[in-house]
Structures are given as structure tokens and as C-alpha cells.
Amino acid sequence: MKKLLTMLMVAGIFSLVACGPSEEEKAAAEAEAAAAVEELFDQMEEAVEEETAEMEEAATEEAATEEAATEEATEEHTEEAH
């Protein structure tokens, strides 16, 4: 009896595997996956561009701050000299 039930179970598993998606469903799933990957790459590129812009802005602000500090230090040094 166990052998019969085991054979029926194995046959059932094979029948479930054989009932996979059709070629059309596979193509649709592949196209959907490609679209999802493309969307992720687009989002990643936008994030990189935003991060680059923020870094450039921060570098510009830092350079301006350093320049202002240098000018202030130079003015103080010049005033002390007089």
C-alpha cells in the first residue's frame, strides 16, 4: 500500500511540474522582469545624479566657507600689523 501511495505522490508531483506556464506567460513574465530591471536602473541613475549634485553643492559651499575664513584671517592679520 505504501508503494502505491508513494507512486501516486510522485505522479502527482510530476503532473504539477508539467503544468508550468505557457510560452506566452513566460514571455510576458520575462518582459515584466526586464521592465522592472530597467526601472530600477533608472531610479539608481537618478539617485546617483542627485548625490553627485549634492556633493558638488557641498564642495562649493565648503570652498566658499574656507575662502571667507581665509579672507577674514588675512584681514585680521593685516589689521594687527597696522
Query: Can you give the pLDDT at residue 45?
Result: 92
Residue of 6, 25, 2, 22 lying closest to 14 (CA atoms): 6
DSSP 19: T
pTM for the model: 0.48
How far, in Å, are 20, 31, 46, 78 from residue 39 at the CA level? 27, 12, 11, 58
Query: Can you give the pLDDT at residue 78?
Result: 64
Query: Can you give the pLDDT at residue 62?
Result: 83
φ, ψ (nearest 5 deg) of residue 19: -90, 40
Q: Per-residue confidence of the chain (82 residues) as pLDDT tens digits?
A: 888 899 999 998 888 877 777 888 889 999 999 999 999 999 999 999 999 999 988 888 888 787 777 776 666 666 665 5
